[in-house]
Structure 1
Amino acid sequence: MHFCPQHVCDKRYLPCAYKADTLTRTVDGGGYGQNIAAGIEAANISYIISDLFYNSEAPAFKDLYGQAQPSYANFGAWGHFSQIIWKGTTRIGCATTSCINGLKGVGANVPKHFTVCNYKSPGNYGGQYAQNISRPLGKPTAHWDAWMST
């Protein structure tokens, strides 16, 4: 787990998330950071955030802590993660919509759900990584289904 200031869930960013053009998998770029995911129902948004955006990408960033400007060569492997823990981000709005007509740019077997998370202020600014991403605290990480364990 990482330290970052507490984020506020801000409903003002939900309409922006719902406006995403799910047929082309594009978003409106309204001056905020953004993470998107396809194929997972709204009931499992905690899985998207904790396991897809955080847990699966944190290991790819392990050698980049302390760098003001990490190489973007592997950005696809850690870009969601760094946005989530970006210290300058204070507000988040996430929404999932079901796309009856399907999603463009994903496999035919991907369920027709599209999630957009908007972050204010945006993260992933070049030259600002060292001051906005702290090293892990060394505590156990959370998983979306931890509460279901017996």
Structure 2
Amino acid sequence: YLFAHNYIRFSHGAVPLIWSDDLASGAQQWADACQFQHSNGQLSELPYGENIAAATGTFGISAAVESFLNQDSYDPLSPTFSAFTQIVWKDTTSVGCAYNTQCANILPGQATLHVCLYNPPGNVVG
């Protein structure tokens, strides 16, 4: 996860992220719950950003982070926030991610759920 994130950040002029075991632990908690929705701050008293992705079949780390990257059609004239903007957010310094390959109720068939948490969160005004 870290290499994939930092490769994208480098391509967009953002400094590398560091790995956070605390964020990864929260991400694992959410992945283990097989919730294919944002956690809305339930995982920590501190604010964090979040990206989630799920798919059936083979859906590894690279494919998950690439799915975030595929949201890179950001238009500053008509700003909307996305998984991509969270990855390249300049003020974000750390990331922690996790996955669960045993999610049976979020998509038709057995799915893999990937969750990445970010600190400080991106996609904030200011």
Bigger share in strand = 2
RMSD of equivalent CA atoms: 2.4
Does residue 119 (structure 1) correspond to residue 118 (structure 2)? The answer is yes
Alignment of 1:45-56 (within 5 A): 45-49=61-65, 51-54=66-69, 56=70
2-structure distance, mates of 1:43, 1:80 = 17
- TM-score for both structures, normalised by structure 1: 0.63
Q: 1:119 corresponds to which letter in structure 2? A: Y
Larger radius of gyration: 1
Q: State the number of aligned residues.
A: 110
Moved over 3 A (4+): 23-26, 40-43
**1:57 correspondence with 2:71:** yes
In 2: Cα distance, 1:39 partner to 1:121 partner: 27
1:15 pairs with one of 17, 22, 25? 25
CA distance in 1, matches of 2:100, 2:57: 8
Task: State the percentage of identical aligned residues.
Answer: 27
Q: Structure 2 length as normaliser, TM-score? A: 0.73
Kept after mapping to 2: 8 A contact 1:13/1:94: yes
Question: Which of the pair has the greater relative contact order for Cα pairs under 8 Å at 6+ separation?
Answer: 1
Partner of 1:91: 94
| 8 Å CA contact 1:42, 1:96 repeated in 2 | no
